[in-house]
Chain A
Amino acid sequence: METGSAITWKYPSCVLAGDNSVGEFYSVALTNNLQQADAGTKMIHVGKNTRSTIISKGISAGNSKNSYRGLVKVNPKAENARNYSQCDSMLIGDTSNANTYPYIQVQNSTGQVEHEASTSKIGEDQLFYFAQRGISPEDAVSMIISGFCRDVFNKLPMEFAAEADKLLALKLENSVG
């Protein structure tokens, strides 16, 4: 979980050297105000029957720029490599920025690589729906963001997941309305 410095460059990565080895990257990256983040991961498939999973959730608020940059590399001798990548971006407000730069380099024809990406925005109409049911804009944003990050939070140890929601809410204070 990343809430950044002013500028963040970070690519925690896995080299899947052993046969049947598995690499997983689950990330929620939040940028706000004038922060810039260029972060992601590298999954390098070397051994046989390797697997990697990437689930990246980027949230951009304020005037920030949040970029996902990820590499999935399947080396020539990496037989039966499999990868699944999902990069979702959430934009809050009118001036934030989100980008996705996936790099896929497959040098073995038995490799299977899947990539999905989505972009969404917390719209005024969604906030109005919450408001009309009595839920304040701050609580609404918090609920929508929690829902957005659920896939990643479910992978975290419980003690950390409980804090994660609160940390996001804190960092997003005053970002809406």
Chain B
Amino acid sequence: MINPDAKTILSVNDLRASVDGTEILKGLSLEVKAGEIHAIMGLNGSGKSTFSKVLAGHPDYEITSGTIEFNGKDLTELEPHERATAGIFLAFQYPLEIPGVSNREFLRVAYNAHRKSRGEDEVDVFDFDDLIEEKTDVVKMDLSFLDRSVNEGFSGGEKKRNEILQMALLEPTLAILDETDSGLDIDALKTVAGGVNQLANANNANLVITHYQRLLNYIVPDYVHVMCAGHIIKTGGKELALALEAKGYEWLLEEQAVTP
């Protein structure tokens, strides 16, 4: 929902970033306000995932110039776990398996880390169990998943739902969904989208990275940005995604006279 008086949550200015010495982001600028849903689309290799990792602070990526402000403060000063407790959540494209660490324990430690950073008391095992069982409803997840190791043996759809469960628990200010729809069947897609929509409110924002228009039928964006060669070449409303679906990226690349 677009509200011109809403607070700016994320402000990215002319961001350049590289990995292993190769520049991937080449002057990306973006502003996201509270209550908004932004979709980022683009060809493979355009830098969409890189952008999400740079925002989350992945150590492999180096920012060479430009700025990122989160809630008015320089984000680059914070370590990845500090960015997380500041309110940034990245739903990974390929969530990792962590053998030996139960989902329940992982979620409880993450939840308490967030509480501690806000100066709140940690919750004990029993109170946490009540809380997490409530949250599993958001993604229609069976309670038995909580006692399995994180993502171990989970199907693609289950892993993605587990990401949204974590999001429901940690209630981030800015949620970055990195190709959350990849590998999902239509039912899983609807469950994931339903979860995201339930969590979206006037005080948080969502950055949805996707290849496909289909997800945007369920998570309706306020803005659609198309990335190419490391920066945003066009911004529009949700009709832009529909136009891309109908005409392909070629049309847009020609219109903007850009080579990928």
Q: Is A139 an interface residue (CB 8 A)?
A: yes
Residues of chain B within 8 A of A135, CB atoms compared: 81, 109-110, 113
Give the distance to chain B from A129, nearest Cβ to Cβ, in Å: 5
Residue A136 is within 8 A (CB to CB) of chain B in the complex: yes
A-B contact pairs, 15 of them (CB 8 A): A120-B99, A129-B92, A129-B98, A130-B81, A131-B81, A132-B80, A132-B92, A133-B110, A133-B170, A134-B85, A139-B109, A143-B101, A144-B101, A146-B100, A147-B100
List 10 tightest A-B contacts by C-beta distance, closest first.
Answer: A147-B100, A131-B80, A134-B113, A133-B110, A134-B84, A131-B81, A147-B101, A134-B85, A129-B96, A134-B114
Check B207 for interface membership: any CB of A closer than 8 A.
Answer: no
- Beyond the given A131-B79, A134-B114, please list 19 additional residue pairs across the A-B interface where CB-CB is below 8 A: A124-B59, A128-B56, A129-B95, A131-B80, A132-B89, A133-B106, A134-B81, A135-B109, A135-B110, A137-B81, A139-B109, A143-B105, A143-B106, A144-B100, A144-B101, A146-B100, A147-B98, A147-B102, A148-B99
Q: State whether the Cβ of A150 lies closer than 8 Å to any Cβ in chain B.
A: yes
- The answer, yes or no, to whether A163 is at the interface (CB within 8 Å) is no
Task: Quote the shortest CB–CB distance from A133 to chain B (angstroms).
Answer: 4
Contacts of A120 in B (CB 8 A): 99
Closest to A125 in B: B96
Q: Mark A111-139, 1 if CB is under 8 A from B, else 0.
A: 00000000010001110111111111101
Residues on A with C-beta less than 8 A from B114 are: 134
Which of B57, B96, B105, B170 sits near A134, CB closer than 8 Å? B170
Complex Cα–Cα for A137 and B79 (A): 10
B90, A132: Cβ atoms under 8 Å? yes
Q: Cβ of B65 < 8 Å from any Cβ of A? A: no
Count A-side interface residues using an 8 Å CB cutoff. Answer: 21
Q: How far is the CA of A146 from the CA of B98 in the complex (A)?
A: 12
- Would B113 and A147 count as touching, CB distance under 8 A? no
B49 close to A (CB within 8 Å) = no
B52: shortest Cβ distance to chain A, in Å?
10
The interface of chain B, by Cβ under 8 A from chain A, is 56-60, 79-81, 83-85, 89-90, 92, 95-96, 98-102, 105-106, 109-110, 113-114, 117, 149, 166, 170
Candidate in A134, A147, A150 with the most chain B CB atoms within 10 angstroms: A134
In this complex, what residue of B is CB-closest to A133? Answer: B110
Q: Are A128 and B101 in contact (CB under 8 A)?
A: no
Residues of B within 8 A of A126 (CB): 96, 98
Contact assessment for A128 and B58 in the assembled complex, using a CB-CB cutoff below 8 Å: yes
Complex: A128 Cα to B95 Cα, angstroms: 11
Nearest A residue to B82 by beta-carbon distance?
A134
- Nearest to A136 among chain B residues (CB) is B81
Complex interface: chain A residues within 8 A of B58 (CB): 128
Contact B100 A148 (CB under 8 A): yes
Q: Which residues of A contact B101 (CB under 8 A)?
A: 143-144, 146-147
* A137 CB, nearest partner CB in chain B, Å: 8
Chain B residue contacts of A147, Cβ below 8 A: 98-102, 149
Chain A residue nearest in CB terms to B90: A132
CB-CB under 8 A from A150, the residues of chain B are 100
Q: How far is the CA of A161 from the CA of B232 in the complex (A)?
A: 54
CA of A5 to CA of B167, assembled, Å: 45
Alpha-carbon distance A162/B174, docked complex (angstroms): 38
**B98 and A144: CB pair below 8 A?**
yes
CA distance A116 to B2 in the complex (A): 58
Q: Please give the distance in Å from A29's CB to the nearest CB on chain B.
A: 17
Contact with B along A141-174 (1 / 0, CB 8 A): 0011011101000000000000000000000000
**In the bound complex, do residue A131 and residue B95 qualify as a contact, i.e. CB atoms below 8 Å apart?**
no
